[in-house]
Structure 1
């Protein structure tokens, strides 16, 4: 049903665009067109408007039924009135229908083609407000979308007008055809380039990632749209470079008519797919189910696939040979063989190089993680790990459990850096269905979905904790990589906000205190809280239990005191305690009395101090300098811990 509705909406969009273009053609060329051509223009424009009106009305009715969960024939007048007056979708669709109806009336009874073209253009633009992208995007996104639609409609409508005019002009006036074609070609090139530019901008915003392009309906529609645009550009280039000179000198029209019809057919597909995309859910908001058994990741493949470098070089050689052969054959005018050589070179190159550029993938590889990367989820994941995974992987996740010595291959060391070579979706698949060619069983039947994701979160934090040894008291400018573990902090005096909340735009110093520790450090920092605030910083103290010793938080929430009654916050953050001086490989070391983490405003751990190491804890002046440095850094748009 959704496919039918999408095609109906796309066809209505294309019909309305054709109506607008034909009306503009009538308005601009009215005096230069023969009476038969004008009549043909009016008839085709009327048919296009009628198709658009009927399909838009059917689409509105069917969509109302889908929203209300009713069959189309069961939709009542009260249902339609509710959707039309109480939803943005209904208001936008009715307004678009109204503008198109006024445009149709402007053409037929009033004979005002310019007015008809204007109203049909408004119909296309107003219809955008019923789309998914308008509902979830910014004003800038909507503006780009409107420019994209307006330009696409001008281009497609102009091409439709050109084809009709070329077909109806008298055969003895080839110079008229040449003039029409040259004029349209001059205007069409910038229009199609603008369509491509705005389309790419919309694709980046609505697709977001390559997996979204490969594994979602929106991505498939977008890929098809760009493929059709490529075909249109090839046809346009062929007409401009080969057929237009022939038309001027020899008057040959038969090949030109055929290529123009092919170009118009693919232009219709572009416009059809654009209409379908306006109603499709953007890839960014869709759960990705990966359809392939592999994913491209050259960096990981080169480190894990034997001979991957040789395979990649072999693919490059095949591509180079195919390109040279195609170039030489093209120079000799043997275009068919040149095309075959290019396709063969590309195919062989892909077949040879692909195994050296890809790693295994699973349906859940790019799944969105339904649990946050926070202390609560990591603590729960640790409990799941202790109950189900310790026998093989060991208490420390090092692959040294009691059963490990009898297993072939041995269990993986989950603390090793290779853990980051896999997505969380990969690990979720292995936890659910077992690891291929190993003794690891699947836990899909014994653990809930959320528990399986939580144990993956714990394994990721465990691995990151060992990598965190390289983190020290110095900030590496502009190079964040270690994701902070979230937990509730303060807004005012209540723990309502999350640590990684960006709304306040402040960096944070997180202090983890052990049981029984005195609060001199917090008293010291509180004395300089104003200077820290002015530098863009905030103090977040994680206390093991309430006590009268602790100072009351100020109204600004600086310092913010969080009472970690169940010790889950401290346990999660202690995974990040390891340093080069205290690597904790045996996991039997005690956490320091105080450990402090500097978190930037984007949610990355940027520096760390331990009270038991030589550097000790930072002075207030060092902290002010560090906060000032972090606040001066530009916007960081790096991948989140759940992103791939």
Structure 2
């Protein structure tokens, strides 16, 4: 992180920590500091109100510093004059539209907090804190799909504030030993509720941001999230100690108040560290949008489960291992009052024997569920699978790959016979079982034969990273073209359509600037149809598809009522991916961006052709591919 980014993370973390305390202190007063009424309670309310206003004031100052740091990052300059000049543009962003009302609520709490009822003060600070969810990673897009995550993030913030700020309130209350035992007991239900909300909302939003197991252990975001989870687990340990040992002991007089103070202080320190890590996470790229480095030589794979020779062994290994785990739990789980009574030794000993036998026969075959992995195995292509990248790969393939793999990729190049092992057949359907990251690793570092001798050279020094990704895009289109040609122009899996830049007519599609912008509409893509008759065009426009005509001349506008563009690379990409020769071609793309059919020949004009196109479009919409638009789009 640069110094500007570091200052951004620090000021953000400080502001959030103080905002959490500002909401949590009055929440403690409302939810925990209840009856009995009396001078002790009134005095505590007064103390909590003063600390609340102090926390709100400090959060306001830290928020202004965060706003200035964001302005500095916005322009890439931390000088005072640059920051002052960037404050206006920063205020006009979504970040500014959220932060400024939040700071106004904090200012209102500071100005009027001495006269407002404690519930109204808590309402101001709680609203300010909840609105912070609108500037996090979860709220990148404001739409209906993001609403559950946004609500979960708000609940996460409020629960964190009630827990951490509540502990700060409890620490202040411990200055009055006469109330300590009662307040510690009353705080426990609030702590349990907050912890439950924190865990549930973190799981809901964290899974999508981390990006699976690879993102968890292979990206900075995931690794920081693991550290945050570890600190949270330690906080849970402190909370459990308070709930089951310290608070009851305090009530019985067997534990001193100093033990509770120490435990709460440790929990607050851990909570502050968790908030700091959360601020760090908010300042870096989520793991789901990063390229994870896989640290192991193997990765999980379910391909073997459908294998006719080894699938049965894999299923047996899973069943035996599962049986062993169940038997182990039966034997070692401690009793749980009211729910679980520990079995007698007559049951536990046979259960341990069953567990040992199950593990002995099941665990060794679990390696069938793994395949070789590389550091880049979980990388995804950054190209967006465009026609331009496919065409670039097509230009590179003859000079770098064809001598071994052959001009058509079938592994029959002129140098193939001289290799110690045959080159891969790039037209075989099982090529799609290999991840883009695996293929990128082989292109980058080469591939050895069983004796360790290089059988495919490393292209890291010959091709740039972008060129290697372009080759991978072309290899995927080459593979698709071969299998689709065998299937007589029909795709049976979710192969995405290569991306194109387009122009669309005035109307509902006027803002569409690319093929991806037509998502939700089936598309009939025509390449090599420069002269489309008006009757043919009218016939196609009467179907559910959006006609898209790619011209060969750079200055040729699409016919009225159609989308189109002049994309020289489109012919290369689509003729390769459709397995067609030169000449006019038509490609049906479903509303999810997946390729469905390809034809060679003129633009359809007869009623029979239009009826067939309509029927095939309707069938494609009724039977979408399980993978949607395929696995190679990464916008």
Normalising to structure 2: TM-score of the pair? 0.74
Q: Which residue of 2 aligns with 1:642?
A: 632
1:146 counterpart (148, 151, 154) = 154
Q: Is the 8 A contact 1:311 1:356 kept in 2?
A: yes
Bigger shift: residues 216-225 or 246-255: 246-255
CA distance in 1, matches of 2:183, 2:299: 49
CA shift digits 1:569-625 (9 cap, x unpaired)? 4443333455xxxxxxxxxxx83866543211222122344679xxx9962212222
Q: Structure 2 CA distance, aligned partners of 1:315 and 1:116?
A: 56
* 1:32-71 Cα distance to aligned partner (Å, 9 max, x none): 5446655664575566556645644554454444444445
Which consecutive residues of structure 2, in runs of 5 or more, have no partner in the other structure? Answer: 343-347
Equivalence for 1:389: 401
Show the counterpart of 1:626: 616
The within-5 A match list for 1:103-252 is 103-107=109-113, 110=115, 113-131=118-136, 133-134=138-139, 136-138=141-143, 140=147, 142-162=150-170, 164-165=172-173, 168-170=176-178, 174=181, 176-177=182-183, 180-181=186-187, 185=189, 187-229=190-232, 242=244, 250=252
Q: Is residue 398 of structure 1 aligned with residue 410 of structure 2?
A: yes
1:572 aligned partner: 573
Residue 556 of structure 1 pairs with residue 546 of structure 2: no
Moved more, 317-326 or 117-126: 317-326
Q: Given the alignment, which residue of 581, 586, 590 partners 1:591?
A: 581
Partner of 1:581: none
Query: Are the equivalent residues in 2 in contact too, given 1:22–1:161 (CA < 8 A)?
Result: yes
Q: Secondary structure, in 3 states, of the residue corresponding to 1:619?
A: helix
- Report whether the alignment pairs 1:371 with 2:383: yes
Aligned partner of residue 555 in structure 1, secondary structure? coil
Query: Distance in 1 between the 2:290 and 2:614 partners?
Result: 42
Distance of aligned partners of 1:116 and 1:402 in 2 relative to their CA distance in 1, 3 Å threshold: same
1:192-235: per-residue Cα shift (whole Å, max 9, x none)?
A: 44444443443355445553343333333444445555565666
Correspondent of 1:282 among 286, 293, 303 = 286
The corresponding residue for 1:24 is 27
Equivalent in 444, 450, 453 of residue 460 of structure 2: 444
Which deviates more, 31-40 or 431-440?
31-40
CA contact (8 A) 2:25 2:169 kept: yes
Equivalence for 1:9: 12
**Partner-residue secondary structure (3-state), 1:501:** helix
Counterpart position of 2:516: 501
1:603 matches 2:567 = no
What CA RMSD, in Å, does the superposition of the two structures yield over aligned residues?
5.0
Shift, 1:85, TM fit: 4.8
Q: Which residue number corresponds to residue 332 of structure 2?
A: 329
Distance 1:617 1:445 in 2: 56
C-alpha distance 593-51 of structure 1, shift in aligned 2 (>3 A) = closer
Say whether the 8 Å CA contact 1:162–1:180 is kept in structure 2.
no
1:526-550 Cα distance to aligned partner (Å, 9 max, x none): 646556435421344567789xxx9
More displaced 10-residue stretch of structure 1: 249-258 or 144-153: 249-258
SS in 2 for 1:597: strand
Q: Name structure 1 gaps, 5 residues minimum.
A: 579-589
**2: distance between equivalents of 1:121 and 1:215?**
36
Match of 1:510 in 2: 525
Partner of 2:345: none
Q: What's the TM-score, normalizing by structure 1?
A: 0.73
What is the alpha-carbon distance in structure 2 between the residues aligned to residue 563 and residue 68 of structure 1? 36
